[in-house]
Amino acid sequence: MADLVLATLNARYIHAAFGLRCLRANLGELRERSVIVERDLQVRPVDFVEQILAQGPRIVGLSVFIWNVAALTQVAAILKRVAPEVVLVLGGPEVSHETDGQPIVALADHVIRGEGELAFRTLCEAILAGAPRGPKVQDAPAPELARLTLPYDEYDAADIAHRIVYVEASRGCPFECEFCLSSLDERVRPFPLEPFLAAMERLLARGVRHFKFVDRTFNLGLATSLRILGFFRDWLAQPGHDALFLHFELIPDRLPQALRDAIAAFPPGTLQFEVGIQTLDPTVAARISRRMDFARIDENLRFLRTHSSVHVHADLIVGLPGEDLASFARGFDSLLAMGPHEIQVGILKRLRGAPIVRHDAAFGMIWSDDPPYEILATDALDFATMQRLRRFARAWDLVANSGNFVRSLPLLWRDASPFLRFLAFSDWLAIRCQVFFGIALHRLAEALFDHLVLVIGVPREEAGKALFADFQRTRPNDWPGFLRPFAGEAALERPRAPRAGARRQARHGHA
């Protein structure tokens, strides 16, 4: 039983609600009277309310994001119907801006906008003491990070065993990219480094081996970046310490030599960098206040691919104001040539509070009213074209980013634009398979083979051998029967018992 329940719905079970752990760690004396209740989006709202109320709370705090606001609105509605005496407090990015008119806000007793660790505790203390609580909507000033209790002891044994552990060494971003909420606050505030590293040491001692840094600009401060990388490298150098995975988000045009040297010292399978490119069109980048050195980006990505074992995940956005199909195609082809292991093609979303909406009238930007508020059309990309690009993004993730077709996929675009060739393939795949979700790997491989041979004109022997080589690399005992003519005698003699596939990074060529 708990007076205070901190609750949310994560996108997937493997995710852990980092914000809730930050809140609980900073509740002071109320911490022992609180509990975290988190599920994923597969749970029915009515069942989630049952789980929350089973704790007997007087206060429920819901963490609201763009991906869970629809489901949590149902949760809030049910909660207020069946337990109106419970005080409902909202927080999170989705309710930190444009609160007027939001259905979930109308259901709440209080909303805390901004970084709420200290403001939330103050409000809960007032509620439980029967003291004046202040206005319904309260703006939380950004706290001094040195005053906060770090949240890492809030991860329990089940989290460490089954979930991604999120950590942050800093908050904020110095850039002004208009599609991002971080553009509203250009300050970068680091956590005190030594207490942070001491917390990382405790997590390592508890068995954490997968760290996902949520910092927007990990490589902004060179001294701090080198200190953190050195800390983990020193841990790896100790006897018996050979399994570690670190995910960082990098500024793509900032990779000085000292940082290159530190990165190159890590063994394969250890580092993954998420590199936000978003657009390679200089006019579009300037329009959305995104400052980038494109030549330096090219140089840095090629260095990472050729002189380090980093797994590089790069992002592009479809639907930025004024970017048409030809411009996006050029950017995609240029980025692919730089060699990232994955290109995540995302559809532009209208985050509440983000200044991207200032371009709506000038560039005919039409948004969905439903979360995640994706762009539906612009004056440069009509609705039909945007739908094609949505299918392209799903197909690219399924076929290219999966790492299952490293040998065979490039046969699609020899001596041609990779973007245009893959766009044609995704159009063809949509007709053949109707949907892009739940396609069995063998069926997908056969579709790729047919397209290569029947549409592109790749010789059957070449396409078949390339596909068979892909299966030999990742699933040597589980290749589809249609590839039998291209299998060697040794492969035919082995039993074809299915087995689990390799980890995604390994399928791209990492050990």
Both 172 and 320 in one domain: the answer is yes
User: Could you please report the per-residue DSSP string of 431-491?
Assistant: HHHS-SSS--HHHHHHHHHHIIIIII---HHHHHHHHHHHHHHH-TT---GGGGGG--HHH
Q: Is residue 396 part of a domain?
A: no
- DSSP reduced 3-state for 30: helix
Both 95 and 234 in one domain: the answer is no
DSSP-derived secondary structure letter, 356: G
Both 242 and 360 in one domain: the answer is yes
- For the stretch 294-352, pLDDT in tens is 999 999 999 999 999 999 999 999 999 999 999 999 999 999 999 999 999 999 999 99
Domain closes at, from 329, 346, 381:
381
For residue 394, count CB atoms less than 10 angstroms from its CB and return exposed for 0-12, middle for 13-18, buried for 19 or more: middle
Both 9 and 132 in one domain: the answer is yes
Structure tokens at 7: 């609750």
Distances, alpha carbon 188 to alpha carbons 185, 222, 253, 400, in Å:
8, 13, 18, 35
- Domain region containing 107: 4-144
Q: Is residue 155 part of a domain?
A: no
Instruction: Please state the length of the chain.
Output: 511
* pLDDT, position 445: 96
User: Is the distance from CB of 344 to CB of 314 less than 8 angstroms?
Assistant: yes
Residue 118's CATH number: 3.40.50.2300
The separation between the first and the last C-alpha atoms of the chain, rounded to the nearest angstrom, is 46
Q: Is the torsion defined by CA of 314, 212, 395, 401 positive or negative? A: positive
DSSP-derived secondary structure letter, 399: I
Q: Is residue 151 part of a domain?
A: no
Both 205 and 274 in one domain: the answer is yes
Both 332 and 479 in one domain: the answer is no
User: Is the distance from CB of 311 to CB of 508 less than 8 angstroms?
Assistant: yes
pLDDT < 50 regions, the chain: 511
* pLDDT, position 435: 73
Distances, alpha carbon 31 to alpha carbons 142, 146, 435, in Å:
21, 19, 47
Closest CA to 247 of 193, 211, 203: 211
Sole residue written with tokens 């793509």: 252
E runs forming strands in 285-413: 311-318, 342-347, 366-367, 375-377
